[in-house]
Structure 1
Amino acid sequence: MVKKWRIVAFFLIVILLGGLMSQTAMGIAKNINLGLDLQGGFEILYEIEPADSEQDEVTEEMLNATVSALDQRVNALGVSEPYISIEGEDRIRVQLAGVEDQQTAREMLSTEADLTFRDTDDNLLLSGDSLEEGGASLEFDAQSNEPVVAITLEDSEEFGEASQHVIEEFSPPDDRLVIWLDFDEDEHSYEEEVMEEDPEFLSAPGFPRGPLYTSNVQIEGGFSVEEAEFLAEVLNAGSLPVDMEEIYSNAVGASLGEQAMESTIYAGFIGVALILGYMMVYYRFMGIIAAITLAAYIYIVLAIFQWMQGVLTLPGIAALILGVGMAVDANIITYERIKEELKYGRSVMSAFKAGSRKSLSTILDANITTILAAGVLFYYGDSAVQGFAVMLIVSIITSFLTAVYGSRLLLGFWVKSRVFNKKPRVFGVKESEIREL
């Protein structure tokens, strides 16, 4: 007796799943963060050295502090989903997707931002440590309306003592407090720079009215609005605790990234369509079930990745397509087992149960070994390889659930409804291939 309610349940599940996918798939796809290889941007690999010449090795604390400082600088650029990772013992990789002004980003990342206040003999009077956290901002001078950088110091006494030192120890025109950014004792000196048309120091204010005890200081350097804003952002991000040398960079234009995205999606669509066409031709009705579960697999993987706030890259798309192959492989193993059982003369119900049971261990072994390989790639790989590994693990787990349990559920509705009893052709088996028990 045909159990029609099972067929109705099948169509209800398919309709609900199709409706959910059609309503939410575009939103999920738009909200997925794209890597720099898909939307353009650039990446830089830095080699780290201790800023203190007396220290020989880069410590883990230095690397973590540098990553934190770089992260603050990237936030000032307004970059969404930056990727900053420590590689090895002395390297840091920075990936910035969607950055248009790459030169400004490179300068902001590499600038040490070591703000110092010195006298005209280059003696240190105040360091950037005296700057209040987040205390730098772009302002406009009340008299000249020129852009300046306003900074707030933690202790007004320190600035007063520095100005007192300048007044007492120096006579005009050397009674100035010289403000430097990234002062280098081997390369910089006030005596030489003051003769230049465009000196390296930011400004050199004097104190004609006596010592100035204040915590609010304006840095005037003939800045443009962009330069003053850039300096304020760098100062707020903090100085770097190490020296960084750029040893590798890779830039991807936005148009190139868009072309890569379109080409990859197009190739993936053709590949998946060919696979589904083969499955439906060779496995008949079971191929239709495989097509439904594969569509569900792709939707679920993208939804999980968007929920994880992951960054989708070209290797990630490759892992997604690889997961399609694993899902198809699981379906083929199961369907071939079912066909073999039908050829031995078993009933459709018995063949379905036996084929599903016997194929499970083989599918499980293949998925576990692939997940282990992905785990090794994640542990030892760099950022691109790690992204591939994460997507691969998500894809494998999802493909296992959809291809094994999802396919078994949907096919089970039809088998258990008994509508296919004595109809082996529906499963791709001819009557002439069936042996006598």
Structure 2
Amino acid sequence: MQRKGKKMKKKKSTILFLISVLVIGILAFTGFHGLTIGDYRFKPFTETINKGLDIQGGISVLEEVQGGNVDNKTLDRTIELISMRVNKMGVSETAVAKEGIKRIRIDIPGKFDSKEILDTVAKSGTLKFVGPDKKVILTGKDVKDSTAYTNDDNQPAIGLEFNESGKKKFAVATEKFIGQPIAIYMDSDLLTNPRVDAAITDGKAVITGSKTLEEATKQSEIIKSGALPVTLKAVSVQTVGATVGSNALSQSMKAGAIGTLFVLLFMLLYYRVPGIIADISLILYVVLVLGAFSLMNVTLTIAGIAGFLLTIGMAVDANVLIFERTREELRTGKSIKSSVHSGFHRALPSILDSNITTIISGVVLYSMGSGSVKGFALTLVIGILISIFTALTCTKFLLKLAIEVGILNKLSHFGVKRG
């Protein structure tokens, strides 16, 4: 009975091991090549991960606040409003960040017409409420807030709230133009043209007529972003060619692939069978990290790729610590199963210490840095967190199954000889 039980356990472990390897293989294939099932297509990472300015090229604009110093709160608000305005162009991976005390850097990947950028995003812009007599009633500076919601009739609507000056201007205009439209423009673009049904004297208006809540939300955000609290001037406009970016990407990917291949070969040749397990875990690690980048809408830059490649080495480092501790246990005469368990237990403090200190450094870099420094820090922290997971769960799980299956049951499999 006991022998039959061991046989059943070995069979179960074999099936589980093969399924695990197969799942990791399918995930890797899907991630790097894509997969079509029926009418649904799983896109490869090359299509789902946002590429930064230095990879796909684009426009980099440096804006400077005019008219003296500005506090951080106002500058942060300006950055938020510019980001909303950029999203109007459909460029979701644009980076808008503070640079120095009174400058804002706007990096727009995939766009190469600098005039278009300056005419739409980089200039301050003007939100105007225009009456049927073509006269400007009020501007974005008179708008306090704008929100989109679904009203009691289950229809999309936009709620407007004006400040004191806007409240007075709008009251006069709505009394004058009852039954007529008041158009809302962002520069020369017509956003909406609602009709005045009644005089509005409380400074709060409701705009209906949007086809969807998404459309209402977009219009609401543009209205809210129309009033930049400061005046900006473009002091630098740079165009990064797509050829330069694509060359940088291809060279980085080539270097990364060669480096990863050498790491896989080293683990295989030096640690034998455990090295194969580590290689499988490393493949899963790469897939999980790139998947996390895709889900989190990370914009990948050359610096970010460098951070990612660095974490591959750190992911292998965790396996090296585990295997070396396991070898030490094997040399004392313990069984393979006991040695693997003790190896993980003894390596855990070292793995956590080294990775936690690096995570702290990454968090500091992300919070205090800007631009490419943030990209490097973000990919570094994400990579380290996932490397800890794969080393302490996936590698341990696969090693346990390999021992039960019988493909990891000799000292020579670990490259160990007892004297």
In the TM superposition, what are the counterparts of 1:8-407 in structure 2 within 5 Å?
Answer: 8-25=15-32, 26=34, 27-29=43-45, 30-50=47-67, 57-113=69-125, 128=139, 231-232=188-189, 238=226, 240-407=228-395
Q: Is the 8 A contact 2:13 2:405 kept in 1?
A: yes
Measure, in 1, the Cα distance between the counterparts of 2:183 and 2:319.
Answer: 71
Measure, in 1, the Cα distance between the counterparts of 2:305 and 2:84.
Answer: 30
Asked if residue 408 in structure 1 is aligned to residue 396 in structure 2, the reply is: yes
Measure, in 2, the Cα distance between the counterparts of 1:129 and 1:373.
Answer: 42
Q: Match for 1:15: what amino acid? A: L
Asked if residue 7 in structure 1 is aligned to residue 14 in structure 2, the reply is: yes
Measure, in 1, the Cα distance between the counterparts of 2:92 and 2:50.
Answer: 8
Q: Give how far 1:301 is off.
A: 0.7
Measure, in 1, the Cα distance between the counterparts of 2:282 and 2:353.
Answer: 20
Q: Give how far 1:230 is off.
A: 7.3
Q: Give how far 1:17 is off.
A: 2.2
CA RMSD of aligned residues (A): 3.4
Which is worse superposed, 18-27 or 359-368?
18-27
Measure, in 1, the Cα distance between the counterparts of 2:25 and 2:251.
Answer: 26
Residues 68 and 376 of structure 1, relative CA distance in 2, 3 Å threshold: closer
Helix, strand or coil: the match of 2:297? coil
Measure, in 1, the Cα distance between the counterparts of 2:13 and 2:141.
Answer: 74
TM-score norm. by structure 1 comes to: 0.69
Largest Rg, 1 or 2: 1
Q: Give how far 1:296 is off.
A: 0.2
Deviations 1:371-391 (A, max 9, x none): 000011011100221121111
Q: Percent identity?
A: 34
Q: Match for 2:369: what amino acid? A: G
Aligned residues between the structures = 341
Q: Give how far 1:41 is off.
A: 1.0
Measure, in 2, the Cα distance between the counterparts of 1:291 and 1:217.
Answer: 62
Deviations 1:262-314 (A, max 9, x none): 11111100000011011101111011111100100010011111111111111
Measure, in 2, the Cα distance between the counterparts of 1:86 and 1:365.
Answer: 33
Structure 2, unmatched stretches of 5+, are 1-5, 35-42, 130-134, 147-168, 192-221
Q: Give how far 1:217 is off.
A: 8.6
Q: Match for 1:40: what amino acid? A: G
Helix, strand or coil: the match of 1:238? coil
Deviations 1:334-383 (A, max 9, x none): 11111222223322122212212111111111110110000110111002
Q: Is the 8 A contact 1:116 1:128 kept in 2?
A: yes
Residues 69 and 233 of structure 1, relative CA distance in 2, 3 Å threshold: farther
Structure 1, unmatched stretches of 5+, are 51-55, 118-123, 135-153, 162-213, 219-227
Q: Give how far 1:315 is off.
A: 1.3
Measure, in 2, the Cα distance between the counterparts of 1:125 and 1:367.
Answer: 59
Measure, in 2, the Cα distance between the counterparts of 1:269 and 1:382.
Answer: 28
Match of 1:222 in 2: none
Q: Give how far 1:71 is off.
A: 2.8
Q: Give how far 1:24 is off.
A: 4.4
TM-score norm. by structure 2 comes to: 0.72
Q: Give how far 1:89 is off.
A: 4.0
